[in-house]
Amino acid sequence: MCDNREYSGPSPDRSRLHMQADCENCFGLCCVALPFAASADFATDKDAGQPCQNLQSDFRCGIHNSLRERGFRGCTVYDCFGAGQKVSQVTYGGRDWRQSPGSANQMFEVFPIMRQLHELLWYLTEALTLQPARPIHDALSSALDETESLTHLDPGSLLELDVAAHRAKINALLLRASELVRAEAYCQSKGSSGRRKAYGRGVDLIGAKLRDADLRAANLRAACLIAADLRGADLRAADLIGADFRDADLRGADLTGAIFLTQAQLNAAKGDAGTKLPASLARPMHWSTFGT
């Protein structure tokens, strides 16, 4: 039986503010630690640990306002979930890699580990706001506390952490939360639009024609949606964790209530003023350049 009771979220409220990138308090870690190759997303090659040619002495980007025009679209898509400032200001206590070159390589190795932990914090925090997932809120809350505690480990301990094992444990909880949410949403919407096609994890939908598709409560975990036409699609309560939205057309699509959607996924897609988004995410600035 469907449960239509209103739910205002967990108490006390779990804030996502520390899971949003704060470049002013970061040592440009994503611009140094991560590698990239010349492609449609990056104008040049860069090895891991090598500062980007556009990184300035104050750790700011010299072409921040024209990254896409200068061939660095990938930079506008990336999101560290707040890991940059955590590593810079907490793990290393405000000592940057230029002032302490001896710790530079270690810092660059710690950063992607922290980024994974902060991504999990994002998903767990969202899961705790989902009313149908209330039966597992205690487990989710414990997992959130555990993950947060891991982000405060010293650098050596972080490097020894089995992140893959921790992700697997958390993913089992997130999957259960997804199943509960999607079952509730399907219960509320079934019969309104006839039979809907079922999808599964990792489905290949590259370039798929899904305009105005009813994708409510769909399992699109890790789906490959590169360049898919999703104009006007209904993605409410769809599980979008890990879905690849590069160049997917989301103009007019309804993503309100979509679960485990991230800012990076939106940044990689195309959209417009008619695209409906969850309140926790922002409309990418470059969407204004796409036609309606």
Please give the single-letter amino acid code of residue 185.
A
On the question of pLDDT at 218 being above 70, the answer is: yes
List Cα–Cα distances, 252 to 48, 124, 240, 270, in angstroms. 38, 28, 17, 10
With beta carbons less than 8 A apart as the criterion, state whether 246 and 267 touch: no
Q: How far apart are CA 103 and CA 51, in angstroms?
A: 15
Say if residues 43 and 53 touch (Cβ distance below 8 Å). Answer: no
- What is the pLDDT at residue 11? 39
pLDDT for res 34: 96
Tally of CB atoms within 10 A around 76: 17
* pLDDT band (50, 70, 90) for residue 18: confident
* Domains in the chain, CATH or no CATH each: 17-34+78-183 (no CATH), 198-292 (2.160.20.80)
Q: What is the 3-state secondary structure (H, E, C) of the chain?
A: CCCCCCCCCCCCCCCCHHHCCCHHHCCCHHHCCCCECCCCCCCCCECCCCCCCCECCCCCECCHHHCCCCCCHHHHHCCCCCHHHHHHHHHCCCCCCCCCHHHHHHHHHHHHHHHHHHHHHHHHHHHCCCHHHHHHHHHHHHHHHHHHHHCCCCHHHHHHCCHHHHHHHHHHHHHHHHHHHHHHHHHHHCCCCCCCCCCCCCCECCCCECCCCECCCCECCCCECCCCECCCCECCCCECCCCECCCCECCCCECCCCECCCHHHHHHCECCCCCECCCCCCCCHHHHHCCC
Q: Please name the residues in contact with 130: beta carbons below 8 A apart, sequence gap of 6 or more.
A: 177, 180, 181, 259
Q: Per the omega criterion (within 30 degrees of 0), is the bond before 284 cis? A: no
Model confidence band, residue 169 (pLDDT cutoffs 50, 70, 90): very high
Long-range contacts formed by 248-255: CB under 8 A, 24+ apart: 250/275, 251/275, 251/290, 251/292
Nearest to 28 by CA among 53, 5, 6: 53
Point out the least confidently predicted range of 4-8, 87-91, 204-208. Answer: 4-8
Residue 199: what pLDDT?
84
Alpha-carbon distance 82 to 114, whole Å?
Answer: 9
Please check the confidence at residue 1 and state whether its pLDDT lies above 80.
no
Under a CB-based contact definition with an 8 Å cutoff, are residues 81 and 75 in contact? Answer: no
The answer to whether 124 and 147 are in contact (CB under 8 A) is yes
Is 43 or 292 the better-scoring residue by pLDDT?
A: 43
* pLDDT at residue 75, rounded to an integer: 95
Whole-angstrom CA distances from 53 to 47, 62, 200 are 11, 9, 41
Look at residue 15 in the predicted model and tell me its pLDDT: 64
Question: 288 pLDDT exceeds 90?
Answer: no
Adjacent-strand bridge partners of 224:
204, 244
pLDDT at 9 over 70: no
Give 200's pLDDT tier (boundaries 50, 70, 90). Answer: confident
Kindly indicate the confidence band of residue 240, based on its pLDDT and cuts at 50, 70 and 90.
very high
Neighbours of 4 (CB within 10 A): 9
